[in-house]
Amino acid sequence: MKIRRRSAMQPARGSVAVEMAFILPMFLLMLAVPFFYARMFWFYSVGEKAAHDATRYLSSATQAEMRTPGGGFNEADVAAIARWIAQEELREVLPFSDGILIGIQCDGDPCGSVVPSTVRTSVQITLHDNILNTLTSTFTGATDVKLKSAVTMRYVGN
């Protein structure tokens, strides 16, 4: 005949589930914040690299390319190629962003018909915060975070 003794741990059955129910939301929040900031820094670094590479292309274009205007409402060919370079580099973050704006300028104006002294590329990536949108809207006033990168270089063809 076996005699079963009641363990001292038996009345505490289910306490782990209760503790987990209290701790899990805080743990998930502590995990979500670094993921959001990691995604934000990743988007910013991709935007900065795209702006840098497009500006570097513009700064090393020949004077003949810089003087060639676009036809009709089109931008100059050199600016279109610089925009394409930036778009190709931003392709990896495009599905995860709410919008991307790319601006190409030569001495503060659209490129074409003049040889500039400086060239500038600006990239703006809009990132929607799906996880912490109440906190983001409290601190920034909106649930969208706009990441802006701008790179200006001297034109080397002068």
Please give the pLDDT value at position 1: 61
pTM of structure: 0.77
pLDDT digits (tens, 9 = 90+) for 84-123: 999 999 999 988 888 899 999 999 888 887 889 999 999 9
Angstrom CA distances, 11 to 4, 7, 8, 15, stand at 15, 8, 7, 9
Q: What percent of the chain has pLDDT over 70?
A: 88
pLDDT digits (tens, 9 = 90+) for 30-50: 887 788 888 889 999 999 999
How far apart, in whole angstroms, are the C-alpha atoms of residue 88 and residue 124?
Answer: 15
How far apart, in whole angstroms, are the C-alpha atoms of residue 90 and residue 101?
Answer: 10
Phi, psi for 127 (deg, rounded to 5): -115, 120
Looking at residue 14, the DSSP 8-state letter turns out to be T
